Amino acid sequence: MEVLKEKVEEEEEAEREEAAVRAERGEKVVRPMEVRREEAPMTQEMLRDLERKLSDTEMAIPEKLSTFTKDTIAISKLPLSYQSNTLKEEHLLQVADSFSRQYSHLCPDRVPLFLHPLNECEVPKFVSTTIRPTLMPYPELYNWDSCAQFVSDFLSMVPLPDPLKPPSHLYSPTTVLKYQEGNCFDFSTLLCSMLLGAGYDAYCVNGYGSQDMCQMDLTRDVCPLTVKHQEVVQEEEKVPPKKYAVKPPRDLTSRFQQEQETKKQEEIKAEEERRLREEEERLLDVEKAKTDPLHGLRVHSWVLVLSGKREVPESFFIDPFTAHSYSTQDDHFLGIESLWNHKNYWVNMQDCWNCCKDLVFDLGDPVRWEYLLLGTEKSHLSLTEEEEDGLNDDDDVENLGKEDEDKSFDMPPSWVEQIEISPEAFETRCPNGKKVIQYKRAKLEKWAPYLNSNGLVCRLTTYEDLECTKTLEIKEWFQNREDMLELKHIDKSTGLNVDYFKPGHPQALRVHSYKSMQPETDRIMEFYDRARVDGLVKREETSKTMTEYYRGRSDFLFYRHVSFGDRVKKLSLNSAESNPRPIVKITERFARNPEQPADEDVAERVFLISEERIQLRYHCRDDHITASKREFLRRSEVDNKGNKIVMTPDMCISFEVEPMEHTKKLLCQYEAMMKLKNEEKLSRHQAWESELEVLEILKLREEEEEEHRLTISIYDTKRNEKSKEYREAMERVMHEEHLRQVEAPLDYLAPFLAQLPPSEKMTRWQAMRVKDECLSDFKQRLIDKANLIQARFEKETQELQKKQQWYQENQVTLTVEDEDLYLSYCSQAMFRIRILEQRLNRHKELAPLKYLALEEKLYKDPRLVEFMKVFV
Amino acid sequence: MNWLYDSVEPRVMDEDMLKLAVGEQGPRDEAGQLARQEGIVFKDVLSLRLDFQNILRIDSLWQFENLRKLQLDNNIIEKIEGLERLVHLVWLDLSFNNIEAIEGLDTLVNLEDLSLFNNRISKIDSLDALVKLQVLSLGNNEISHMMNIIYLRRFKDLRTLSLSGNPIAEEEDYKMFICAYLPDLVYLDFRRIDDHMKELAEIKHQYGIDELKQRENLSQAQLDDERAQREELEEHKAAFVERLNGSFLFDSMYAEDVEGNKLAHLPGVSELLQAYKDKFVIICLNIFEYGLKQQEMRKVELDTFNECVQEAIQENREQGKRRIAKFEEAHLLSLNAIRDESEVTNLEMKVAEHSKDITELFDMLMTLEMQLVEQLEETINTFERNIMDLVALFIENVQSLMAQCRDLENHHHEKLLEISINTLEKILKGELDENLPYDVRALFVDKDTIVNAVGTSHDLHLLKIDNREDELVTRTNSWCSHLVDAIHKDEIMRNRRRVKEIHQYVDHVQNELDNLECSEIID
C-alpha cells in the first residue's frame, strides 16, 4: 500500500501543479464527468468489472424512482453555490478524479468510488462538501440518538433507483429537508451534518447492508418499545461477618435428600428448557425468510460515529432509516467501500469477507484506510494529541504550518446553505405529521402533537401472530391532554385497561386499571398521594371488597379493608348512591406511633359490624414477640327488652402481654369502647365516602374521555389564542413605532427641490443651484445662530454691568438681605455669561465643520450625485 | 381580708373531703355508675378542684400521683406545701389565698401555668425548677422591687405575665421595663404587647439590657466551661487515668512531704528535682495516652458486641413474630370451625387437632428461644474472654510504666541521699558557704537524722505511686467484672421474660380453646 500512497501523492502533486497553471490562465474548467471518465485509461480489468456490473444491474428490477425529480425542484431559486463550482471545488474534483483513476488502476476488481455525484442542479459535487456541519438550535437535537430519531422521523424513505449501485445524484441536505424524502445517502448526509455540528466524530459510510436494512424493512425486528427493560438486580454487598456475630444454628436436615431433590428439580428444568428451545427453533424457522439472492451486493449508506469526542466510549454505526445504533460488529452491515466526513474521504483497504467484524477504524492508518487528501491525513492522530494538549489554537496553527510544508490541498467549504429546520417542521416531525412503522408482530403509528383532537401521538399495536391479524395489546400515548392522561394500555387477551396519568389530574389519579367502567367491579386506582389530603396511595376494588392504602398520615393509618355484604333489596331505584351496600367488616391497620407506648398503640382494628364486635390488636413491644389483644362484644346500649345494659367484665376479653402493669378498670374499658364506637361510625362514613369518590371519578373519567380537551401552553404562541392576540398587538405597536422612526430623518433638500418645477428631470444647472441654495441657507442659519448667542451674551453682560453699577451706588444703604440677593444674582449671571461664552466658542469651532459635512453629504446625495461627479 | 376568713371555720383537707370532691367531679351517667361501682383510685385522677373550701393547710394530696391540674383557689392557705409528689402537675391555681412566700414548688418540673393571684407575696423567688413555665399570674400581691423582673428572665417559655395590683405596677416605667427585660413576653396583664411598644422599650433600656446580657453570657460561658471540664474528667475517669495528663501525681507526692520540700533547698537538688519531675511527667503522660487508647478499644469492642447481640435478638424476635402471626391466622380459622361444628366426634377431633397445634407452637417458640440462648451464651463467653484479656493487658502495661516511675524515684532518692550526705559532711567541716534556712539546717545534725529524713520522703513518694497504681488496677478490674456480670444478668432476665411471655401466650390460646369447648358442651 505504501507504494500506492506514494504514487498517489506524486500524481496529486502533478495534478495540482497542472491545476495551478490552469487557474493562472483563468481558464474556465467545467468538464462533465463522462468526459473525464473517457479520458481515464481503460484497462482490461476495468472492462471486465464494468461488464460484470452491467450484468448485475440487469438483474435488479428498477423500482419506482424518486418522486421529486429535477423539474419539481425550482433550480433557479437555489443559491449560486448550488449551480456552479468554485475554482477550489473544481480543483478538488480534479484531485478526486485522479484519485479515482489511480484507484481503479490499482484495484481493478473493486467498484468505482462514490466521489462526486451530481446535485440537484446537475453539477458534480464532491461528497464531503455536501456535508454541512450544523448545530441545531433545538436542545433536543444535541445528542446522537435524538438526532437520528429526528432524521428517521422527518424524512420518508425512497429506495435507491438501483439497489446495487450508489445513486447518480446526491441532493443537498437543504433540498432533502424541504421535500422530506430521500434515499439512504440523503439520510446519512443529513444525519452526519447534524452530528458533526453537535460535535461528534461522525462519518458517512458507503457500503453494503442486508436486505432488511436497505429496504427499511423492520418486520423481522422486535419493536424497541415492546422490549421490557430488564431490571438490573443489584447485588447486595455482603457485610463481612462481625466479630461477635452469632453462629447460625446447626442444620439438621439430610444433605443426601437435598441433593436428590435438587437433582430432580434440575431434570425437570432441563426438560422444560429443551421444550422451550425446540419451540423457539420452530418459530425461528417460520420467521426466517427466503435468503436474499443479492445478499452482500445491496448498496447502503449509514453513519459511523467514532469514539473519542462527546464522551462516546466506543465506535458504533447508526442506521439513518431506523435511527437504531448497532455495534460495528453487527450482522446487518456487510461491507464498507469508503467513508467521508466534511474534511476528507477514506477508502477502505481492508477485506470485508467477514462483514465489518474485523474492520479497524483507525483512519490514521494509511494501510487500512487510503485517504484522498493529504493535508488532513493525520487529522485522526493529531486530534488525539490536540485533546491531550487541551490547546486548540496552537495545534491548529501547527497543522496549518505542516499543511503548507506538504503543499497539500484543503477541503473547500461546503456549498450547501445552512441547514434550517423551522419550529413548525420540527414539531410536526413526520411528513404530514403521521408515520407508520411495521415491526415484527407490532405496528407503531406516530402523529404530531395536536394533530389528533384527542391528543393521541403514538400507538403501538402488538399482535399474536406474524401476519398481524390477532391483536394482543394496544398502547396509546397521549400528549397535552387536559386530564393529564399519558398512556392507555389495553390488553385484549385479558380485557384489562390501564390508564396512566401525569401529575395534575383533578382527583390526583395516577394509574387506573379496570375492565369495565361500571362501579363495584374489579379495579385498581393509584393516586399521587402527595397531592391528596388523605394520603391515599392505592384503592383496590373487587365486587365485594375495597382495600385502600395510605401513606404519610398523621393518624398513622396505612391500610383499610372494607368487606361489603349483599345489597338489601329496596323498592326504590337501586343505584349505588341511594342505597349503599351494607358493610360487613372494616379492617384498619396503623403504623407505630412512636409517642405512645406499644401496649396502647393500636396496630390493627377490626370492626365486625354484623357481629357487633370490635377486635383490637396492639403493637408489639420492642423486646416481645406477642402483642396485646382486646375484643369488645355486644355494644348495643339497649337490649331487646329495652333495658339499659350495664357494662360487665365479660364484654371485654383481653390478652395483655404484661398483665401486671395495667389496671384493667372497667371504667377505662367503657371509655375505650365508647371511643371505638365513634371511630367505627367515622370509619363507616369514610368507607361510604370512598365509594362515592369512586363513582365521582368514574363519572369524571367518562366526561373527560368524551370531551378530551387539550391544553395549550402559554408559551406556545402559535396555538394559544390569547398570547397570539397579545403578540400581534405588540407587533402592531412595534410596527407603528418603526414607521414613525422611519419618517423622522429630515430631508434637507426637500424645501429646495419643492421650489423646482415638477419636471421629470433636473438639469445640471438646477442641481448646482439647489446645492448652492441649500448650502447658503445652512450658512445663513449658522450665522443667525451665532448672532443669537452673541446677542444674548451681550444682553446678559449689560444687565450685569447695570446691576453692578446700581450696587456701587446704593452700597451704603443696602440691607443685609438685599446684599445677599445681589450677590446670588451676580454669581448666577456670571454663570450664565460663562455658559453663553462657551456656547459661542463651540459654535464658532463647529460651524465650519458642520458646513463641510453638509457639503459632503450633498455631494453624495443620490439625487445630485450624477451632476456633481462630472462637475468634480 | 376575706369575709369568709372571719365567719367560717378553717377546714382540714382529709380523705373524706377529697373523696367527695373526686366523686363530684368524676365521670357522669353510665360511666359514673361504673366508677362508683368500682371505686375511684386517687392515682387515676387527672384533675381536681378544691376551691372555696376554706382550706388552711394543703395536705393528704400525696396519693394523686398523676394529677395534671389542681385548683386550690379561694382558700385561706398560708404556705405552699404538700405538693412535692405531684410531679406531673401542669396547671396549679393558688389564687386568692394568704400565701406570703413562694416555696415548695421545687419538684413540679412540668408546671406550665401557675397562678398566685391575690396573695401576699413580696418577692419572686424559688421558681428555678419550673423550666416549662408559660403563664405566671402574680397580680394583686406586694411585689415592690423592679429587680424581681430580672429573675423572670430565666424562663425561656414564659409568654404571659400579670403583675397588676402590685406596688411596682404603680411605677412610671413599669411597662417599658418589663417589655425591655422580657422580650419574649407576649401578654402582659392580659393585654397583648404591641411591637411598637417593644421597640420603644428596647431603645430606652438598651444599655441596661446589653450589660445584663453581657453578664449573663459571661456566666453562661463559665458554666459551659465548667461542664466541659467536668465531662472531660469523667471521660478520663472512665479510662481510669484521670489526672495523669500532667504533674498532678508528682505534685501530690510533694504536697505532704515536709522533709522533701526542706531538702529541696540544698544546693543542686532543685536542678535534680526539675529533671526528675520532667521525666516523671513524661511517663505519666504515657500512661494517660495509653489509657485513653485502651479505653477506645474497649468501647469499640463493647459496641460491636452489643450490636451483634441486638441483631441476633432482633432476628430471633422476627422469626418468633412470624410464627405467631402464622399461627394466629390458623387459630382464628379453627376456632371458627370448631364453633360451627355440630357433630360431637368431629368436634372432639378438631379440638384435639388444635391443641396439638398449640403444643407445636409452644415447642417451636421454645426451641427458638433455646437456640438463641445457646448462641448468645457462646458469644458472651467469647466477649468475656476478650475483654478480660484487654483489661489484663492494660493493667500489665500500666504496671510496667508505674515501675518506671518507681525506678525514677529510687534513682532520685539515691542522688538526694548522696547530696545530703555530702552537704552534711560539708556542714560538719564547716565548709558550707551557703546560708541554709534554719529548719533545713536542723536536719543536718547527724547522719541518722538526715538519712531518716530522706528515707521518709522516699517512702512517702513510693506510697503515693503505689496508691495510684492500686486505685487504677482495682477500678479497672471492678469495672470489668461489673460489666460481665451485667451482661450475664441481662441475658438471664431476657431469657426469663421471653419464656414467661411464651407461656402466657400459649396459656391464653389454650384458654380460648377451653372456653369454647365449655360453651359448646353447655350448649
The predicted model gives B345-358 an average pLDDT of 87
**Chain B residue nearest residue A674, CA to CA:** B31
Contact at CB, B324 and A626, closer than 8 angstroms: yes
Tally the residues of chain B: 523
Of the pLDDT bands very low, low, confident and very high (cuts 50, 70, 90), residue A540 is: very high
Statement to judge: residues A781 and A692 lie in one domain: no
Report the amino acid identity of residue B377: E
- Both ends of chain A: CA-CA distance in Å? 70
Residue A313 lies in a domain: yes
**For residue B423, pLDDT beyond 90:** no
HSE-CB of B510 using CA atoms within 13 angstroms: 13
Touching check for B314 and chain A: CB below 8 Å? no
Of the pLDDT bands very low, low, confident and very high (cuts 50, 70, 90), residue B443 is: confident
Residue A74 lies in a domain: no
Give the pLDDT confidence score for residue A385 in this predicted structure: 41
Contact at CB, A244 and B31, closer than 8 angstroms: no
**For residue B277, pLDDT beyond 80:** yes
**For residue A79, pLDDT beyond 80:** yes
On chain B, the residues whose CB falls within 8 A of the CB of A243 are 301, 304-305, 308
Comparing A333-347, A417-431, B145-159, B409-423, which segment has the lowest mean pLDDT?
Answer: A417-431
Contact at CB, A665 and B44, closer than 8 angstroms: yes
Burial (Cβ within 10 Å: 0-12, 13-18, ≥19) of residue B405: buried
Give the pLDDT confidence score for residue A389 in this predicted structure: 40
Residue-wise pLDDT tens digits, A396-452: 444 444 444 444 577 888 888 888 888 888 878 777 778 888 888 888 888 888 888
Burial (Cβ within 10 Å: 0-12, 13-18, ≥19) of residue B151: middle
**For residue B499, pLDDT beyond 80:** yes
Touching check for A651 and chain B: CB below 8 Å? no
Give the pLDDT confidence score for residue A743 in this predicted structure: 64
**For residue A61, pLDDT beyond 60:** no
CA nearest neighbour of A647 among A622, A679, A628, A673: A673
What is d(CA A65, CA B201) in angstroms, rounded to the nearest whole number?
Answer: 95
**For residue B171, pLDDT beyond 90:** no
**Percent of chain A predicted with pLDDT > 70:** 78
Chain B, residues 438-477, CB within 8 A of chain A, namely none
Q: What is the 8-class DSSP label of residue A591?
A: -
Residue A498 domain boundaries:
481-706
Statement to judge: residues A618 and A486 lie in one domain: yes
Of the pLDDT bands very low, low, confident and very high (cuts 50, 70, 90), residue B388 is: very high
Statement to judge: residues A667 and A782 lie in one domain: no
Residue-wise pLDDT tens digits, B61-83: 888 888 899 999 999 898 888 88
On chain B, the residues whose CB falls within 8 A of the CB of A244 are 304-305, 307-309, 379, 382-383
Residue A311 lies in a domain: yes
Touching check for B133 and chain A: CB below 8 Å? no
Q: Distance (Å) from the C-alpha of residue A231 to the closest C-alpha of chain B?
A: 29
Residue-wise pLDDT tens digits, A93-129: 888 888 888 888 888 888 888 888 888 888 888 888 8
Q: Distance (Å) from the C-alpha of residue B376 to the closest C-alpha of chain A?
A: 7
Neighbours of A338 (CB within 10 A): 22
Q: Distance (Å) from the C-alpha of residue B312 to the closest C-alpha of chain A?
A: 7
Statement to judge: residues A784 and A853 lie in one domain: yes
Q: What is the mean pLDDT of chain A?
A: 78
Residue-wise pLDDT tens digits, A347-400: 888 877 777 777 888 888 888 888 888 755 444 444 444 444 444 444 444 444
Given A318, A352, A371, the domain boundary residue is A371
Residue-wise pLDDT tens digits, A767-795: 788 888 888 888 898 899 999 999 999 99
Given A371, A397, A417, the domain boundary residue is A371
Give the pLDDT confidence score for residue B218 in this predicted structure: 94
Statement to judge: residues A633 and A503 lie in one domain: yes
Spatial contact of B48 and B73, defined as CB atoms under 8 Å apart = no
The pTM (predicted TM-score) of the whole model is 0.64
What is d(CA B63, CA B12) in angstroms, rounded to the nearest whole number?
Answer: 16
The predicted model gives A236-264 an average pLDDT of 78
Statement to judge: residues A702 and A820 lie in one domain: no
Residue A759 lies in a domain: yes
- Both ends of chain B: CA-CA distance in Å? 74
**For residue A49, pLDDT beyond 70:** no
Identify which of B31, B307, B508 has the shortest CB distance to residue A242. B307
Give the pLDDT confidence score for residue B224 in this predicted structure: 95
Of the pLDDT bands very low, low, confident and very high (cuts 50, 70, 90), residue B300 is: very high
Report the amino acid identity of residue B448: D
**For residue A295, pLDDT beyond 90:** no
The C-alpha angle with vertex B391 and arms to B389 and B395, in degrees rounded to 5, equals 115
On chain A, the residues whose CB falls within 8 A of the CB of B379 are 244-246
What is d(CA A447, CA A428) in angstroms, rounded to the nearest whole number?
Answer: 8
Statement to judge: residues A701 and A815 lie in one domain: no
Q: Distance (Å) from the C-alpha of residue B304 to the closest C-alpha of chain A?
A: 7
What is d(CA B9, CA A81) in angstroms, rounded to the nearest whole number?
Answer: 123
Statement to judge: residues A784 and A689 lie in one domain: no
3-state secondary structure A346-411: EEECCCCCCCCCCCCCCCCCCCCEEECCCCCCCHHHHHHHHHHHCCHHHHHHHHHHHHHHHCCCCC
Touching check for A740 and chain B: CB below 8 Å? no
The predicted model gives A662-673 an average pLDDT of 72
Of the pLDDT bands very low, low, confident and very high (cuts 50, 70, 90), residue A524 is: very high
| Top-ranked range on mean pLDDT: pick from A710-719, B31-40, B49-58 | B49-58
Statement to judge: residues A784 and A652 lie in one domain: no
The predicted model gives B87-105 an average pLDDT of 91
- The dihedrals phi and psi of A633, each to the nearest 5 degrees, come to -115, 160
Comparing A395-399, B4-8, B145-149, which segment has the lowest mean pLDDT?
Answer: A395-399
Q: Distance (Å) from the C-alpha of residue A430 to the closest C-alpha of chain B?
A: 59
Touching check for A625 and chain B: CB below 8 Å? yes
Give the pLDDT confidence score for residue A400 in this predicted structure: 42
Chain A, residues 499-538, CB within 8 A of chain B, namely none
Identify which of A244, A249, A624 has the shortest CB distance to residue B382. A244
The C-alpha angle with vertex B223 and arms to B221 and B229, in degrees rounded to 5, equals 105
Given A371, A400, A425, the domain boundary residue is A371
What is d(CA A81, CA A175) in angstroms, rounded to the nearest whole number?
Answer: 14
Residue linked to cell 413555665: B133
Residue-wise pLDDT tens digits, A796-817: 899 989 988 888 888 878 788 8
| Top-ranked range on mean pLDDT: pick from A396-405, B23-32, B91-100 | B91-100
Give the pLDDT confidence score for residue A178 in this predicted structure: 86
Q: What is the mean pLDDT of chain B?
A: 87
Residue A779 lies in a domain: yes
Contact at CB, A625 and B508, closer than 8 angstroms: no
What is d(CA B87, CA B66) in angstroms, rounded to the nearest whole number?
Answer: 8
Spatial contact of B48 and B71, defined as CB atoms under 8 Å apart = yes
Rounded alpha-carbon distances, angstroms, from residue B9 to B21, B73, B170? 19, 17, 36
Residue A490 lies in a domain: yes
Contact at CB, B504 and A626, closer than 8 angstroms: yes
If one compares A861 and A62, the residue with the highest pLDDT of the two is A861
On chain B, the residues whose CB falls within 8 A of the CB of A625 are 317, 320-321, 324, 365, 498, 501-502
What is d(CA A770, CA A749) in angstroms, rounded to the nearest whole number?
Answer: 8
Touching check for A326 and chain B: CB below 8 Å? no
A562 Cβ contact partners less than 8 Å away, ≥ 6 residues apart: A545, A546, A547, A548, A583, A585, A586, A587, A687, A690
Contact at CB, B379 and A244, closer than 8 angstroms: yes
What is d(CA A505, CA A532) in angstroms, rounded to the nearest whole number?
Answer: 11
On chain A, the residues whose CB falls within 8 A of the CB of B27 are 667
Of the pLDDT bands very low, low, confident and very high (cuts 50, 70, 90), residue A32 is: very low
CA nearest neighbour of B102 among B70, B65, B148: B148
Residue A437 lies in a domain: no
Give the pLDDT confidence score for residue B223 in this predicted structure: 95
Strand pairing of A345-348 and A333-340? antiparallel
On chain B, the residues whose CB falls within 8 A of the CB of A646 are 30, 33-34
Give the pLDDT confidence score for residue B426 in this predicted structure: 84
The predicted model gives A231-259 an average pLDDT of 72
Of the pLDDT bands very low, low, confident and very high (cuts 50, 70, 90), residue A65 is: very low
What is d(CA A585, CA B57) in angstroms, rounded to the nearest whole number?
Answer: 57
- Look up the CATH number of the domain holding residue A195: 3.10.620
Burial (Cβ within 10 Å: 0-12, 13-18, ≥19) of residue A755: exposed
**Chain A residue nearest residue B314, CA to CA:** A623
Report the amino acid identity of residue A781: R
Which segments of B95-205 does DSSP mark as H helices, in order? Answer: 147-151, 167-170, 174-181, 195-204
Which of B22, B33, B34, B378 best probes binding to A when mutated, by most A CB atoms within 10 angstroms?
Answer: B34
Touching check for B271 and chain A: CB below 8 Å? no
The predicted model gives B300-322 an average pLDDT of 91
Chain A, residues 230-249, CB within 8 A of chain B, namely 242-247, 249
Identify which of B31, B304, B497 has the shortest CB distance to residue A671. B31
Contact at CB, A626 and B304, closer than 8 angstroms: no
| Top-ranked range on mean pLDDT: pick from A58-62, A208-212, B234-238 | B234-238
**For residue B365, pLDDT beyond 70:** yes
Contact at CB, B501 and A646, closer than 8 angstroms: no
The predicted model gives B142-147 an average pLDDT of 87
Decide if the complex's ipTM is over 0.95: no
**Percent of chain A predicted with pLDDT > 90:** 11
The predicted model gives A677-699 an average pLDDT of 89
Statement to judge: residues A628 and A694 lie in one domain: yes
Touching check for A659 and chain B: CB below 8 Å? yes
The predicted model gives B402-420 an average pLDDT of 90
Chain B, residues 486-505, CB within 8 A of chain A, namely 494, 497-498, 501-502, 504-505
Contact at CB, B34 and A647, closer than 8 angstroms: yes
Comparing A28-32, A729-733, B125-129, which segment has the lowest mean pLDDT?
Answer: A28-32
Statement to judge: residues A523 and A622 lie in one domain: yes
What is d(CA B215, CA B166) in angstroms, rounded to the nearest whole number?
Answer: 28
On chain B, the residues whose CB falls within 8 A of the CB of A660 are none
Identify which of A626, A644, A667 has the shortest CB distance to residue B35. A667
B135 membership: H or E segment, kind and range: strand B135-137
Comparing A329-343, A354-368, A591-605, A759-773, which segment has the lowest mean pLDDT?
Answer: A759-773
Q: Distance (Å) from the C-alpha of residue B109 to the closest C-alpha of chain A?
A: 20
The predicted model gives B424-437 an average pLDDT of 77
Give the pLDDT confidence score for residue B229 in this predicted structure: 93
The predicted model gives A598-614 an average pLDDT of 85
Q: Distance (Å) from the C-alpha of residue A624 to the closest C-alpha of chain B?
A: 7
Number of structural domains found in chain A:
3
**For residue B19, pLDDT beyond 50:** yes
Statement to judge: residues A827 and A700 lie in one domain: no
Residue A846 lies in a domain: yes
